[in-house]
Structure 1
Amino acid sequence: MAGQPLRLIFMGTPDFSVAALRALLAAGHEVVAVYSQPPRKSGRGQKLTPTPVHAFAAELGLEVRTPVSLKNTDEQRAFAELNADAAVVVAYGLILPKVILDAPKLGCFNIHASLLPRWRGAAPIQRAIEAGDRQSGVTIMHMDEGLDTGDMVLVKAIDTSPDMNAQQLHDALSDMGARLIVQALAGVVDGTLSAQPQPEDGVTYAKKIDKAETRIDWHLSAEAISAQVRAFYPLAWFERDGQRVRVCSASVELGSGAPGEVLDGQLLVACGEGAVRLIDVQPAGKNVMSADAYVRGNPLRMDEVFI
C-alpha cells in the first residue's frame, strides 16, 4: 500500500472540513464516498441547503451520502462495502459506532482543532479563544469509541495572538489540518509514524456553544468580554432599545462606571472591571459598521446603559 493512492471515505460537514477534502484529492487519493450531514432548511425561503462539504463534493462529481444515523445495519453494511483503506473524519457531526470505526483497513482518522487532550469535544476553537490560550493547533487522531480520546498520530501547534478571533483561528487550523492529514496518512502507510496515547494530564472539554452564552454580560471584566467577543465571533451581542446589536470587534481600555454604562460618544462601555471600546458592530438587519458610523446613525444618550 505504501506509495500508492489510498481508497478513502471522507466524513465532514462545515467549511472547516473542505480544505482537508481538497488536499486529499490533490495528493492523489481516491475518495470513494463523502459522508455529510443531511441538507437543512435555511434562509428566508427555508430552502433545503446542502452542507459546505456536500456542495463541494457534488461539484466534483463525488458520491455523497447523508444518513441521519450510522447505527442502522444497512448503513453500516453500505459503509463496509466501500472497501476503504481509511476514513478521514473532520467535524462530521455524527457518532461513529465501533463497527464503522473498524471497517476501513487502517481505521478512521480525525482532524481535531486542538492540542489534545486539551479541548476535547464540540467547540475547541471557541473555547481556546475564550480561555485566553496562547497556543492552539491540530491533532491527527486514530479514532476510538471515546470522545476525542484516540491515540495521536501527528500534532502541530501554532501561537495565537491576543487579538485573534475564532474565525481567524478556524481558518488557520483548517489549512493546517489539511496539510497534516496528508502527512499523517503517508506516515502511517510507510511506517514512519505510529499512534501514541494521549497524555493523561491536561484533559479539558470544549462544550457546545449555547446561544445564551453569546449575550454580553457587562458585569464581567473587560478582558473576559473581549475574549467573549472574539470567541463567539461574529455572534456576541447586547440589547439597545429592544434591538440586538452584535459586537464584531472590541478592545480593552481604561475606564470605570456602572456595568454597561456608555462612557463617551464613541462606544466606550464600562464593564464589571475596566472598559471595552466597541470597534465594529452590526445592528439587527444591517451590515457590519464602524462604531463611528453606528453612532452617527444611532446617537448615544447621556447616561445610557446597555443591557
Structure 2
Amino acid sequence: MRLAFMGTPDFAVPSLAELIASGHDVVAVYSQPPKPKGRGQKLTPSPVHAFAETMGLPVFTPASMKASEAIEVFGSLDLDAACVVAYGQILKPSVLEAPRLGCFNLHGSLLPRWRGAAPIQRAIMAGDRQTGVQIMRMSEGLDEGPILLGEVMGIRPDDTAASLSDRMAHTGAALWPRALAAIERGGATPTEQTGEPTYARKITPAEARIDWSRPAAEVDAHIRGLSPFPGAWFEAPSAEGPVRIKALLSMLADGSATSGTVIDDRLTVACGSGAVRLLRVQREGRAAQSTDDMLRGFSLPAGAVLG
C-alpha cells in the first residue's frame, strides 16, 4: 500500500519500522517540527524524523496540519492510507478523507477509557491493572473512531510510564501488518466504542508534586506514572534550604508516621496510610541515580520531613 506515516516520539518509531519491514511504500513521513534542545538550544528533529531520515524517507514537518498549504500537499500524495501514532496534531476532515481508504491511529489504551494526550501515564496513575493498544479508524472527534484491531496488556506493579510505553510501542507496531491487510482486502470490521469515556488530559507541572497525605498505593502509582517525565517531585530539607528531588521509582513498604516523614535509613516515607520506599531519584541539576547512591552524599535520616 502507498502510505503516509504521521508520528513524533520514540513510541511511534517501532510502528514506522514495522511498516517499512512489511514492504509497504511509505512515501511521506510527517512529524512535529524540530525543537531547540540542550545548552546550545540546537534545533533537534523528533525521534520519528531522525529515524525516517536514516531510512531515506522524505519528511514533512508543517507547524500546523490545518494550514491550507499543508492540506494541499498531503492531498497530492495519492495515498491508499495514513498511519498515525502519537503525531501530536489534530487532523481536519479534509486530511482524514484524503487517503483512498482513510486514516488510522494506534492508541495506547482500551478505548473509550483514556482518550486523549496521556493515556499511558493516566492509566498507571489511576491504578489500572490492565490497558491495551488499539488501531482505530480516525474520525473528527478525539479518539472516538471505531476499533479495527487491538490487544489487551497487563500493567505490572513495577511499571513506569517508560517501561509500559516501551512494551506497548512494540506490541502496537506488530498490529499494523494485520490491520492493513484486512483494510486492503475490505475485510476489516470496525467495532464502535462502547462504555463511558474517560479523558487522559495532558500532564501539567502543577500536578507533579507528590502529596504525601494520600494513601501509599496512590503515591506509588503517581510516582511511576510520571516517570521519567515530567517526574513526580518533593522537597527535602538541607542546610542550604529545601532541595527539589524527583522520585523516579518506588515500591510499597511497611511503616507508619506523620505523612511525609522519613521512617528509616533507606528513604521509606510515610503516607496518609502505609508507606513507600523510593528506589530511584534525581536531585535538581544532577543525573538520575539509585536512592542508595544519593544517600551516600545527601543525608535524609529517619525523622526528616519531606514537603
| Structure 1 and Structure 2 fold alike (TM over 0.5) | yes
AA aligned to 2:234 is F
2:276 match: secondary structure: strand
1:304 aligns with 2:304: yes
**Does 2:105 match 1:110?**
yes
Q: TM-score, normalised by structure 1?
A: 0.95
Q: Classify the secondary structure of the residue corresponding to 1:278.
A: strand
**Which shows bigger deviation, 72-81 or 84-93?**
72-81
SS in 2 for 1:58: helix
Q: CA deviation at 1:301?
A: 4.3
Query: Do residues 216 (structure 1) and 173 (structure 2) align?
Result: no
Contact 2:264/2:301 (<8 A) preserved: no
Q: Which runs of 5+ in 2 are unaligned?
A: none
- Superposed CA RMSD in Å reads 1.2
For 2:162 and 2:254, the matched residues in 1 are separated by 27
2:74 counterpart letter in structure 1:
F
Report the equivalent of 1:3. none
Q: Is contact 2:265–2:302 with CA below 8 Å preserved after alignment? A: no
Structure 2 residue matching 1:62: 3-state secondary structure: coil
> Are 1:141 and 2:133 counterparts?
no
Q: Which residue identity does 2:243 align to in structure 1?
A: Q
5 Å-filtered alignment, 1:180-195, equals 180-195=175-190
Q: Tell me whether 24-33 or 245-254 shows the greater mean CA deviation.
A: 245-254
Distance 1:304 1:218 in 2: 13
Deviation at 1:107, TM superposition (A): 0.4
Gaps of 5+ in 1: 1-5
Match of 1:98 in 2: 93
Q: TM-score, normalised by structure 2?
A: 0.95
How much does 1:194 deviate?
A: 1.8
Deviation at 1:295, TM superposition (A): 1.6
1:82 and 2:77 are equivalent in the alignment = yes
1:237 alignment partner in structure 2 = 233
Residue-by-residue CA offset, 1:156-198 (whole Å, 9 max, x unaligned): 1012222211111101110011111121011111233221211
Does residue 228 (structure 1) correspond to residue 222 (structure 2)? The answer is yes
One-letter amino acid of the structure 2 residue matched with residue 223 of structure 1 = A
Equivalent of 1:36 in 9, 26, 31: 31
1:275 aligns with 2:275: yes
* CA–CA distance in structure 2, aligned partners of residues 208 and 44 of structure 1: 26
Cα shift readout 1:263-295 (whole Å, capped 9, x = no counterpart):
111111111111111112121222322222222
**C-alpha contact (below 8 Å) 2:251/2:278 kept by paired residues:** yes
Question: For the residues of structure 1 that align with 2:71 and 2:248, how far apart are their CA atoms?
Answer: 43
Are 1:157 and 2:152 counterparts?
Answer: yes
Identity among equivalent pairs (%): 51
How many Å apart are 1:256 and its aligned residue?
Answer: 1.4
- Indicate the SS of the match to 1:103: coil
Aligned to 1:247: 247
CA 1:301/1:161 → structure 2, altered by over 3 Å: closer, same or farther?
A: closer
Match of 1:294 in 2: 294
* Contact persistence 2:261–2:302 (CA under 8 A): no
Measured in 2, the distance between the counterparts of 1:21 and 1:79 equals 18
Q: 1:174 aligns with which of 161, 164, 169?
A: 169
The match for 1:8 is: 3
Q: Show the counterpart of 1:285.
A: 285
Question: 1:58 aligns to what?
Answer: 53
- Counterpart CA distance in 2 for 1:221 and 1:29 is 49
Aligned to 2:196: 202
Matched position secondary structure for 1:177: helix
Structure 1 residue 86: Cα displacement: 0.2
- CA drift of 1:220 comes to 1.1
Q: For residues 68-90 of structure 1, what are the alpha-carbon distances to aligned partners after superposition, in whole Å with 9 as ceiling and x for unaligned?
A: 11222221111110000000010
Cα shift readout 1:208-259 (whole Å, capped 9, x = no counterpart): 1111221111111111110011100121111123222111211111211112
Count of equivalent residues: 301
